[in-house]
Each structure stands twice: as structure tokens, then as C-alpha cells.
Amino acid sequence: MSWETIFRPSIFKLSAYSSARSITQSIGIIPSQYMDANEFPMAPSLETGMAWENTLHRYPSPQPTKLLAAFSQIYQVPSKNILITRGSDEAIDVLTRAVCDSVDEAILITPPTYGMYEVSADIQNTAVIKVSLLCKENEWSLDLEKIKFKLTDPKTKIKMVYICSPNNPTGTVFEQKEIISLLEILPSHTLLVLDQAYFEFAPDDQSVDLLQRYPQLVILRTLSKAWGLAGLRCGVLLGNEELVSVLQKVRAPYPIPTPVAELALTALTPQGQQMMRSRVAEIIQERENLKQQLLQLPQTRRVFPSETNFLLVEFNDASLVMSQSAMQGIVLRDRSSQIANCVRITVGSKDENQKLLQCLQTIQHQPTSSP
């Protein structure tokens, strides 16, 4: 038999999303320290009597009412404007399947940025238009003029524009006036998707206030980062009521397992919110300490400003940093394919950060590649 006759041709051409851990596993390294996926370094303290154990013989609510109310209170958005998803990745997938229909349509992304936007578009056989970020004096910014040119080009039908802010992997927060300037010129057939997975590390952002004024705006948030619940797989899509209603037709029938909903509710209590904010403050302090110590290493060329729980670091030789770290069981994220000699480092606990620095200090006298 031939699998080519079963699957869509575009699927065979697809480059799947590849994590640092899958790469490490494929070469037989057993990690002892994860600093690659921007998870929180400590597990949250959840107190649950697991009363839901007696309800697992029933399907869960497709959109748990109590959890919707909790997100509504935290984000100050009515429940009717919220879609609970299995992390932001499912929101990206649902949006792409609902909005993008053919190779004649496209999404626009601003690399270097999160890889799942492109993967989801490729699965849907949708074109990907790339407008690279501008970098000047260590600061990243949107190329607004080029984005606007692409949006108004009659030869291209762009259905979605993805802006990740704070951006992964650069750590950059884009100014709200830039987002508004794009919303003001969006074609009627285009959504602007603002991915705010790292929102809690830059909480002064007021983009949620724009939802009422701009029905084509979609905001994504998640419990995977600042809330320390990456293993729970729970996020939300915030958007226009009618848009959310349409997406309800595309999502899985029962996407949020009962234990997920119950544990998320436990984390979102006022006490849980206060704990999250306190721990975020700790990570921000650790981020600044790690940045200063990285800058003292001969291997380090520069550390980009960050408003997230990770740092993008340019080294003399990123491949050497990656290999030496892997040998010490430390998993980092190589971003050299997007930004030459750059590695993304998740801020860990104080002990984890010190272990990483000790590892990097051992390679400071080894030869470095040319700039």
C-alpha cells in the first residue's frame, strides 16, 4: 500500500514542531535540568481532596461554567467572550481550521516567533507570509510599514496576523499603539491574533480593553507559564462573542477533562493568584541576576532585554554551548536557525541557574567561532 494515497500531499511536506526535549531524547541524553520550554521551575501548591474522582464516569462539561467564571473575573472579560482550550496550541489550531481554507489564503507571522503558527498553517495547506522583526541596538520591533503593505496587497488574502507579545523567543513586548495601528487598517476578512502566553510577566499591558472596540482582535493566554501549570494543558481564547460562538463548532466535543478544570479552579483562587504574582516576582529577580552573570562570561556576546521568564542570549558559539550543556544534562533551546548563535534559556530556580553558569564557565577558554 502507499500512504501517499491516503494522506494529503501537503502533510508529507510538513515540518513538524520539534521541541528541544525530543531532539535530546533522539540522541540518547537523559536530562537532569530543563531550561528549554519556559516552564515555571517550581510546581504550584494545590490543595484538593479530589472530590471529582467520583464523577469521572461522566463526560466533562465542554466549557466548565465555574472555570469560565474564574477566567472572566481574572481577565475582566464576560464569559461569553471566552473559549477554554487545551493550552494556547489548541486555540491556534482551532483558529487556523476555522479561518483558513486553501493555499490561496495566508497567515502573516513576524519571525523570530513561536513556531506553532506556521505548523498549523502548513497542516491546513495555508500560505505563510513572513515579515521579520527589526533589531536595532538589542531592541526588537515590528516592521509596521511592511506588515501594512502586505495587508493591503490585493494579490494576497491574509486571514490572520499573529503577534506574540511578549514575544517568544525575543522576550519583547510590543507597544499597544502598534497593535492599534494594525487593527485600524485590517481588511474585513482578517483577524489579528495577539498571543500573550507570557502576559503575567508584563501585566501592565491593557490589550484586553481593545476587545470591545475591535471585533477582529483575538487574545490568547495560558496557565502553562507564570501559573506553573504546563502539564495541565489549559488556556483561553478571548474574543468577540460571535467569533467565540463560531469557534465552539470547531473545538473538540469535551476538550477540558474534569481533573483539569478542578485543578485549574484550585489554582485560580485569590490565594492562588497572590502566590502566582509572588513567584513571578521571584523569577523576574532571578532573570535579572542570571542576565548580569551571563554578561560576565567571555562566551557571551549579548543578552537581549526580556519581559518574560526566559532570556535570549547570543554566544560566540551556540553549538558549543548547546553540546556542553547537554553533556551536563541541561536542556536549553537552540534558536540559531532563526537568530545566529542565539540560545533561549528559561530562567530556573537559583540552584538551576547556578548550575548552568558553572557549566558555561567551563567552556570560557575554548576556541570560539568567527562572528
Instruction: Write out pLDDT tens, residues 212-266.
Output: 999 999 999 999 999 999 999 999 999 999 999 899 888 888 899 989 999 999 9
pLDDT of amino acid 370: 45
pLDDT of amino acid 3: 46
Residue-wise pLDDT for 101-114, tens only, equals 877 899 999 999 99
Q: Name which residue leads in pLDDT, 255 or 1.
A: 255
Per-residue pLDDT at 15 exceeds 80 = no
Among 144, 184, 149, smallest CA distance to 163 is for 144
- Maximum C-alpha span of the chain: 62
Residue 337, φ and ψ in degrees, nearest 5: -70, -25
Per-residue pLDDT at 362 exceeds 60 = yes
Output Rg (C-alpha) for the chain, integer angstroms: 21
193 secondary structure, DSSP code: E
Q: What is the pTM of this model?
A: 0.86
What's the CA gap between 211 and 238, in Å, rounded?
A: 8
Q: Which of 16-25, 168-177, 295-304 has the weakest average pLDDT?
A: 16-25
pLDDT of amino acid 11: 47
Q: How confident is the model at residue 182 (pLDDT cuts 50, 70, 90)?
A: very high
357 burial type by CB count under 10 A (0-12 exposed, 13-18 middle, 19+ buried):
middle
Q: How confident is the model at residue 71 (pLDDT cuts 50, 70, 90)?
A: very high
Per-residue pLDDT at 2 exceeds 60 = no
pLDDT of amino acid 114: 97
Among 277, 273, 268, smallest CA distance to 66 is for 268
What's the CA gap between 144 and 242, in Å, rounded?
A: 28
- Cell numbers of 99, please? 479561518
Residue 369, φ and ψ in degrees, nearest 5: -75, 165
* H or E element at residue 12: helix 9-13
Per-residue pLDDT at 42 exceeds 50 = yes
293 burial type by CB count under 10 A (0-12 exposed, 13-18 middle, 19+ buried):
middle
Mean pLDDT of the chain: 88
Q: How confident is the model at residue 317 (pLDDT cuts 50, 70, 90)?
A: very high
Per-residue pLDDT at 6 exceeds 60 = no
Q: Which of 100-104, 165-169, 268-272 has the weakest average pLDDT?
A: 100-104
Q: Is the peptide bond before 169 cis (omega within 30 degrees of 0)?
A: yes
**2-9: long-range contacts, CB 8 A cutoff, minimum separation 24:** 8/125
Q: How confident is the model at residue 117 (pLDDT cuts 50, 70, 90)?
A: very high
Q: What is the mean pLDDT of residues 189-200?
A: 96
Q: What is the mean pLDDT of residues 14-43?
A: 66
Place of cell 465552539: 248
Percent of the chain topping pLDDT 70: 86
